[in-house]
Amino acid sequence: MLPATALALRTVGVKRWQGVLARIPTQKLELDHRNINRDEPLKLVPRTVARLVRAAANHGIYQANCLEQSLVLWCLLKRAGVASEIRYGARKEQEQLHAHAWVECLGLTLNEDRGVEQRFAPFNNTRTNRLAPTALQDL
């Protein structure tokens, strides 16, 4: 999915590609709860999927950036029936604007170290979040 997402972002853009990914049907997860703490299944699945996406991005055929990884992670979680949100943020450093994307789920930052919201000021309001993907694509 990472190479396909990279190609799609360049050809149809973030908004349209996220719309395509949003239409992928959800599948019910079958978890084996025998060996998992009762509170952990909801956190275990997103963390595991995030590790797999990161491994594919770092060691696969395509070295994906944060936006591509976040879109794929968000899509895979959605498909598994796990609600998550792509967050966008930016910071200015030495007169340069740096943008970043990450996924949050159940109060956890999945594909980024803790404290990402201190390093990159998140776009919080709804209007800004709708504009953020286009701004990130241009960077």
The pLDDT of 12-27, averaged and rounded, is 91
Neighbours of 137 (CB within 10 A): 15
The pLDDT of 93-102, averaged and rounded, is 86
How many Å apart are CA 59 and CA 52, to the nearest integer?
10
Q: Is the pLDDT of residue 7 over 90?
A: yes
- Encode pLDDT of 99-128 as tens digits: 888 898 887 888 887 767 767 767 764 433
Task: Pull the structure tokens for residue 119.
Answer: 């390093």
What is the pTM assigned to this prediction?
A: 0.76
Neighbours of 90 (CB within 10 A): 16
Q: Is the pLDDT of residue 28 over 50?
A: yes
Q: What is the pLDDT of residue 93?
A: 82
Three-point CA angle 42, 22, 24, nearest 5°:
85
Q: Spell out the domain ranges in the chain.
A: 2-22+40-138
